[in-house]
Structure 1
Amino acid sequence: MAQETTQAPPSAPTAPARALLPFILPAVVVGVAASLVFVGVSTAAERLQRVLWGPLPDALGVGRYSVLWMFVVLTATGVVVGLVVWKVPGHAGPDPATLGLDAPVLPPAVLPGLVLATGLMLAGGPSLGPENPVIAVNVGLAAWLGGRFLPRTPGTLWPVLAEAATIGALFGTPVAAALVISEALAGRPMRGRLWDNLFAPLTAGACGAMTTTLVARPTFDLGLPPMGHPRAGDVLAALVIASAAAALGLCAVYAFPHLHAAFRRLRHPMLMLPAGGLVLAALAALGGRLTLFKGLSEIGELARDPQGWSAGQFVTMTVVKLAALLVAASCGFRGGRIFPAVFVGTALGLAAHALVPAVHPSLGVATAVLGMLLAITRQGWVSLFTAAVLVASPAVITLLCIASLPAWLLVTGRPQMQLRADGTPVR
């Protein structure tokens, strides 16, 4: 009797080099251009921020971060961004509560207003980052210019290149871009091998990251003391902190559609955004100046002196920053949620260290950032990567992978911090 044999299914064919070479030049151009857009928006916003929170209040005889000045600047930011959303062609794009990292292709006429609204927001102090609107701007520019100058190139390629390039520029490394794109490809049918599909996006991400590194020299390493060999207590601490951070982040996620609906009842950007600015000013008065802005430079200040604040102060900053993120994302400010969520996780991790000194600060920060980002972004690879690069401690990586398991079980299948057009949360 003949013996039956089973054959393994054939693997996807590998693309020949000649099929990938034409994508190199478009990927390089998009990578460099996307980085320059990001650096340009960030630099312009930082210069305006230094004026608004430095020489201007000094000239007026007002304290730079006094309660009065916080109310003046944040309310004025709401007014000017509201004017952009109301009057500028394109109204600064769609409702930011409906956008994630995978931005739609916006018409070119929308992009100037979106850039202006983003820069004003970054300078004025609301707790949002540049990632979502800058990705949307780069996707729109790449699709428009690519379609004009290289019409034979597949139109679906440009948004992928722009997204990868911008993420590489934001984090200063193409690894983050590759992880995000591979996570997106996991839910789609692919032609060929994974690395064939990643070749062009990885090229764009690498060029975006290198351009940002050469021009702006970004760093995410907080300079916290590295961990030694993990102990059993470190495993328990990682599990508890990551899960607690994910649960806290889910509280904001569940509140998001309700607060968004409350602001939408005001019906007009000249009411919603100034009202949001007022609320953000009150929160900043409660939490202090470190709870303003996107939070990247502020977490560096926290990490330079973890003993400079009490556990109660860290907890206050955690709650205030999370509330500020929720308000800013609900009332119509154009911005992303990753960078302020990193601040929330950092403050929470340092609070854990302050409450239980046996918890290493690097472990507390990394696992709290991991749990918070999992809840806010629902991007597993980005959450792990960001948490790991903040502390630059190889001993933490295994603990992060372990801690991500219960945290992911908490957040998976839950509503996301992103809404559909009808105001219901994406799941």
Structure 2
Amino acid sequence: MVQEASSQPLITGPRSLLPLILPALAVGAGSALLLLGVTAVSEELKDVLWTTLPDTLGIGSWSSGWMIAVLTATGLAVGLVVWKVPGNAGPDPATTGLVDPPVPARVAPGLLLASALALAGGVSLGPENPITAANIALTYRLGHKLRPAAPAVLWVSLAAAGTIGALFGTPVAAALIITESLVGRPGPGEGRPPPSLWDQLFGPLIAAGAGGITTVLVANPTFDIDLPGFSGSRYQDVLAALVIASVGAVLGMAAVYAFPYVHRAFRWLRNPVATLTLGGLLLGLLGALGGNLTLFKGLDEVKELAADVDSWSAGDLALMTVVKLVALMTASACGFRGGRIFPAVFVGVALGLFAHAVVPQVHPTLGAVCGVLGVLMALTRQGWLSLFTAAVLAPDAEVLPLLCLASLPAWLLVTGRPMMQLHEDSSPVR
């Protein structure tokens, strides 16, 4: 998670763990409040851009011209933030992951502003990456002042866990992601027993729990997208799960392999204002092609998509799947600050419902969650996160064994291959 911190002493033992409780609670709650604040600001601006202004002007909110105009203007605004605001809204988002080493605290205001503008303007990215980066930067800056001897990985873990717990409204996702990041970390040194997993997760779990409960109490979020009930597995469901998850992984990997080329094409423009304005224009054109459901981060839109699964034709669903995936890749490559988890969920659900539309015997819930599993595995390379996200979308626990089976061929298709993350020279990270 934080490469330079791997050699730092890891916290273990009751005397070391008890002092973590209050800082972890504070970091978790603070991370959630920052997320909620940015979300609230972006929602207010979204209402202005997509309801108040078009109503005042007598223009349809979802007319092609308005979508193109708003997204192009959003690209211009974000480009000006990246160009002129101190810290330049952080590093190139194509080179960053969900949890990275701390950036300077002065980067956080511009990063949050760029994220809020993108969320409001309809860009196909979520809030997770910039919010996590800002929380890590601010937590590390404050934590290092209060406890200079504490390892950097402590503050990064607390901030990341608090933010992820707040995003999902539960500490489970944070625990799974951090557990995955701990695999392969060097031990504390020869002659010393390695700390137990729960010792390492103690502080992050408190932060994740505080972040999750803060979000639940303030905003009451839900991942329930009202998919039809899945009453039990049939033999054909096993084959469907394996195929759909694998197709999702292949589709996601197609975007991964195209990502470096799209990124290099945008970088020819050099100036972030030109790059992001062009990116916004292309996103507007994609929105006009795919419809308004392919705009924004995708969580609210996927609920509308799943509200009546049989009302969409196979052609509609195929178009939305491809357009949303291309929009996600374009937004990430041109420099918009945002995360890929929530738009990837939309892509996966649309793909799964497409499978149901083509083969009605495929249960729509099974298709949706397996599509999400495969796409997320390809785009995030986080196995636990992919499995957890897919599982929470299903209303019934009976789908979980099928997801576990479906994860195996999907993972074989993505492991060891390039990631949707680049080095500074635009070469892919493996």
TM range (shorter): over 0.9
What amino acid does structure 1 have at the position aligned with 2:317? F
Rate the CA distance shift 1:310–1:24 in 2: closer, same or farther, 3 A. Answer: same
Q: Are 1:189 and 2:186 matched, yes or no? A: yes
Which residue number in structure 1 is paired with residue 262 of structure 2?
259
TM-score, normalised to structure 2's length? 0.95
Which residue number in structure 1 is paired with residue 98 of structure 2?
101
What amino acid does structure 2 have at the position aligned with 1:339? F
Runs of 4+ in 1 over 6 A off after TM superposition: none
Q: Distance in 1 between matches of 2:428 and 2:13?
A: 42
Q: Are 1:143 and 2:146 matched, yes or no? A: no
TM-score, normalised to structure 1's length? 0.96
Instruction: After TM superposition, give the deviation of residue 227 of structure 1 in Å.
Output: 1.2
Picking from 303, 309, 312, the partner of 1:309 is: 312
Contact 1:139 1:163 in 2 (8 A): yes
Instruction: After TM superposition, give the deviation of residue 150 of structure 1 in Å.
Output: 3.1
Cα deviation, 1:91-136, whole Å, max 9, x if unaligned, reads 0000000011122211111111001000000000110000011000
Instruction: After TM superposition, give the deviation of residue 354 of structure 1 in Å.
Output: 1.1
Instruction: After TM superposition, give the deviation of residue 15 of structure 1 in Å.
Output: 4.4
Contact 1:168 1:205 in 2 (8 A): yes
- Helix, strand or coil: the match of 1:126? coil
Q: Distance in 2 between matches of 1:15 and 1:68?
A: 58
Q: Distance in 2 between matches of 1:325 and 1:262?
A: 16
Contact 1:14 1:193 in 2 (8 A): no
Q: Distance in 1 between matches of 2:242 and 2:289?
A: 30
What is the root-mean-square deviation in Å for CA atoms of aligned residues?
Answer: 1.2
Which residue number in structure 2 is paired with residue 340 of structure 1?
343
Picking from 391, 396, 411, the partner of 2:394 is: 391
Cα deviation, 1:6-36, whole Å, max 9, x if unaligned, reads xxxxxxx994322210111111010000000
Cα deviation, 1:154-179, whole Å, max 9, x if unaligned, reads 33310111001111111111000000
Q: Are 1:62 and 2:59 matched, yes or no? A: yes
Contact 1:45 1:123 in 2 (8 A): yes
Instruction: After TM superposition, give the deviation of residue 243 of structure 1 in Å.
Output: 0.3
Which residue number in structure 1 is paired with residue 33 of structure 2?
36
Picking from 60, 80, 86, the partner of 2:77 is: 80
Which residue number in structure 2 is paired with residue 376 of structure 1?
379
- Helix, strand or coil: the match of 2:102? coil
- Helix, strand or coil: the match of 1:54? helix
Contact 1:98 1:418 in 2 (8 A): yes
Q: Distance in 2 between matches of 1:284 and 1:14?
A: 48
Picking from 325, 328, 331, the partner of 2:328 is: 325
Which residue number in structure 2 is paired with residue 295 of structure 1?
298
Contact 2:174 2:205 in 1 (8 A): yes
Q: Distance in 2 between matches of 1:47 and 1:297?
A: 15
Contact 1:223 1:304 in 2 (8 A): yes
Q: Which moved more, 1:404-413 or 1:101-110?
A: 101-110
Contact 2:11 2:200 in 1 (8 A): no
Picking from 364, 368, 385, the partner of 2:367 is: 364
Cα deviation, 1:298-330, whole Å, max 9, x if unaligned, reads 000111111121111001000000000010000
Instruction: After TM superposition, give the deviation of residue 229 of structure 1 in Å.
Output: 2.0
| Structure 2 spans left out of the alignment, 5+ residues | 1-9, 188-193
Q: Are 1:115 and 2:118 matched, yes or no? A: no
Which residue number in structure 2 is paired with residue 407 of structure 1?
410
Q: Are 1:418 and 2:415 matched, yes or no? A: no
Contact 2:13 2:199 in 1 (8 A): no
- Helix, strand or coil: the match of 1:175? helix
Cα deviation, 1:29-53, whole Å, max 9, x if unaligned, reads 1000000011111111011101100
- Helix, strand or coil: the match of 2:152? coil
**Bigger Rg over Cα:** 1
Correspondences of 1:266-277 after superposition (within 5 Å): 266-277=269-280
Which residue number in structure 1 is paired with residue 157 of structure 2?
160
Picking from 128, 133, 147, the partner of 1:131 is: 128
Q: Distance in 2 between matches of 1:186 and 1:156?
A: 14
Q: Are 1:243 and 2:246 matched, yes or no? A: yes
Q: Distance in 1 between matches of 2:11 and 2:324?
A: 47
Picking from 88, 91, 108, the partner of 1:91 is: 88
Contact 1:170 1:209 in 2 (8 A): yes
The alignment covers a number of residue pairs equal to 415
